[in-house]
Structure 1
């Protein structure tokens, strides 16, 4: 049964905006696939998915503990969520480093998976995004453990789908990433969309 207390479309859009923004991870997956083949890219994706899932699960527990402290902290988390999205928007707007075509060191597929797992498990940006942004799409503002884990699963599913598309279409994606003017337009359009989400979070905090 679909939980009516969750804004599924809004959360999916927020995650998709972040995942579609060209960045170092996107460039790494594409370059790895082109240099070592799809098996290497798929190995990296499996590690990324597991690391992101573990990071999100830990973040759900942290968010539950923080939001249980009272409405004042719930409002503060909304403000932090707005700041997080604004920061991501700024990074997307000014970033110019995604077109690098530097080759990645050759490793076994299991090592690519391990690298993807560790990087995403200890990624503080991913944890902060989930702790602050996820509660904004639960109508109560205080997600239960089951709601948080469900949204974590959705987050990993969307991210993995985007990563799979990158591996399967690596050749075409590289053309976009290498065309800096085109990549800049994509980043800045997504940045403006993320800034709009940040404004919504801020209005929600003081509404």
Structure 2
């Protein structure tokens, strides 16, 4: 039994899908990782992103996200840390050689934590939980139950979309086994990630 009307749940699920289909830092980085290093690294990144979204949802429920939203200093610090981290990932992708990719024994941990950190440093994720999610909470019904279910729903939708991106981008990895093609595609995606980082800096400015 849902703690709110089914129509509300479906509306929130659809809104979450539209938000996640909008190109952003996570989507671009997933494409870079999956096309260059394969689906295993891509799905590890997806798992990290999912955990990051869940943690931010829990933090938002405790009111910390509202504090970040209200404090210009905290918001700007988080925003620029996210921008710099994305630029670092773009630079690393641009300068990485094919030998680094092929010799990486188990990239799971590295990509998991990068996906996790990328989301923690994304103020837009916190704003979603503060500004969007509460609008779907029904007054007079259990607040905590609604918040938890909506958070789980959003993480599930985001993970499904991210998994689809990994599956699609991962199909290119065999084609990119050629060192020259791999280098060109990696640099193209790294350049795109750098542009996304600059767009992120502009779009999140107050």
CA distance in 1 between counterparts of 2:29 and 2:59 reads: 25
CA distance in 2 between counterparts of 1:154 and 1:130 reads: 12
Secondary structure at the counterpart of residue 132 of structure 1: helix
**13-22 vs 158-167, which moves further:** 13-22
Preserved CA contact (<8 Å) 2:60 2:66: no
How far residue 24 of structure 1 moved from its aligned partner, in angstroms, is 2.6
The residue number in structure 2 matching 1:160 is 159
Matched, 1:144 2:143: yes
Compute the TM-score of the two structures, normalised by the length of structure 2. 0.59
Preserved CA contact (<8 Å) 2:45 2:115: yes
Preserved CA contact (<8 Å) 1:135 1:141: no
Preserved CA contact (<8 Å) 2:35 2:171: no
Preserved CA contact (<8 Å) 1:48 1:116: yes
- Unaligned 5+ runs, structure 1: 67-99, 179-207
* Structure-2 change in CA distance of 1:65 and 1:114 (3 Å): closer
The residue number in structure 2 matching 1:28 is 29
Secondary structure at the counterpart of residue 169 of structure 1: helix
Would you identify which runs of 4 or more consecutive aligned residues in structure 1 move more than 4 Å? 63-66, 104-107
The residue number in structure 2 matching 1:59 is 60
Compute the TM-score of the two structures, normalised by the length of structure 1. 0.59
The residue number in structure 2 matching 1:132 is 131
CA distance in 2 between counterparts of 1:152 and 1:55 reads: 9
Secondary structure at the counterpart of residue 139 of structure 1: coil
* Paired positions, count: 141
The residue number in structure 1 matching 2:188 is none
Task: Provide the aligned C-alpha RMSD in A.
Answer: 3.2
The residue number in structure 1 matching 2:86 is none
